[in-house]
Amino acid sequence: MVRRSAGSQDGDPLVTRPVPADWLEQRRRADHVAREKASGLLEDLTRRLRDLLAEHDDDAVSVIDVGAGTGSNQAWLAPRLAVPQRWTLLDHDAELLDVASQAPADSEVEETTRVLGTLEDLPGLTEGQEVRLVTCSALLDLLTLAEAETLADVIAGPQASARVTALLSLSVTGAVEIHPAHEHDATISAAFDAHQRRDHLLGPDAVGILADLLRQRRAEVHLSATDWTLGEDDAALITRYLSDRADVAVESDPTLSDIAANWLATRRQQLRRGELQVSVGHMDLLALPAASGEPAPTAEPSSAAPIG
């Protein structure tokens, strides 16, 4: 059952940046494998949530999954939190919410509510003094600066409770390594990144900008690399990723049509021969409320090992 948020009762359909459901499902395994690299963040988060629950005598953590899509974030995260949880899946696409997977049976999820809305509805969904976790997966690059500021305010702004934590996962960083190298890799990457920054979107700069916004609001910020590392076992995902990358590059710069076609043909040949390895940079961000009266500590991101 999907309900509309209070601020989204009227008007046109909410979907303005549709994401294909089949793409979300195709990338799910790679996402889940990559997130295991940030296990340290999850341990820190779980400890803080347990402390907050005990301190405030709450019976469960209120989790809001922004841009929940088909429910991949809940499927991975819920069993690993090891605390009682009540989830709200927020997305602007009713079709994605309709097919969102159920909460895992091995989790401590007590309730899941699906809400059709946008990030602008988030402040209204986070009112109150419950222990909260704001989370998202593969979302930050799709935000504008104003939307990022809204998210940062909900997590750590003047009106935010000291009981709010955040785990913002799998934000692309723009670091892409494809082995063996190709003479047009840099050209394709530049055009792709330019497209990611279209219409004032944050694109690959998003995680750094969000980290700075949260630090300015005195949140305790920790970063961990969660790169995709893809090889022969990921042939279908690599094919889709490279095809989409070439298409987006041409959409950004139509003069690259021939270059992109030749680049993609070479890459497909290398993939069929089992020669291709792909690393796609992602970063997870953990934000915790800073202790009252103390400066917020920060942690530098861990470096990802190159594929070879």
308 located within any domain? no
For the segment 201-217, the average pLDDT, to the nearest whole number, is 97
| pLDDT above 90: residue 3 | no
Non-local CB neighbours of 9 within 8 Å, separated by 6+ positions? none
| pLDDT above 50: residue 142 | yes
Helix (H/G/I), strand (E/B), else coil: 190: helix
What domain range is 68 assigned to? 2-174+201-227+283-289
Residue 168 belongs to domain with CATH number: 3.40.50.150
51 located within any domain? yes
Confidence tier at 298 by pLDDT (50, 70, 90): very low
Burial class (CB in 10 A: 0-12, 13-18, 19+), 303: exposed
* Residues 83-104 pLDDT 10s: 999 999 999 999 999 988 889 8
122 located within any domain? yes
Residue 168, token pair as written in the block: 């913002």
Give the burial string for 180-192 (b: 16+ CB within 10 Å, else e): eeeebeebbbebb
Q: Which amino acid is at 171?
A: S
β-strand 85-91 against 61-66: which pairing, if any? Answer: parallel
Angle at which helix 21-35 crosses helix 235-252, to 10 degrees, equals 120
239 located within any domain? no
300 located within any domain? no
Does the pTM surpass 0.95? The reply is no
165 located within any domain? yes
273 located within any domain? no
Given a contact cutoff of 8 angstroms between Cβ atoms, the answer to whether 184 and 261 are in contact is no
In the chain, how many domains are there? 1
| pLDDT above 50: residue 297 | no
145 located within any domain? yes
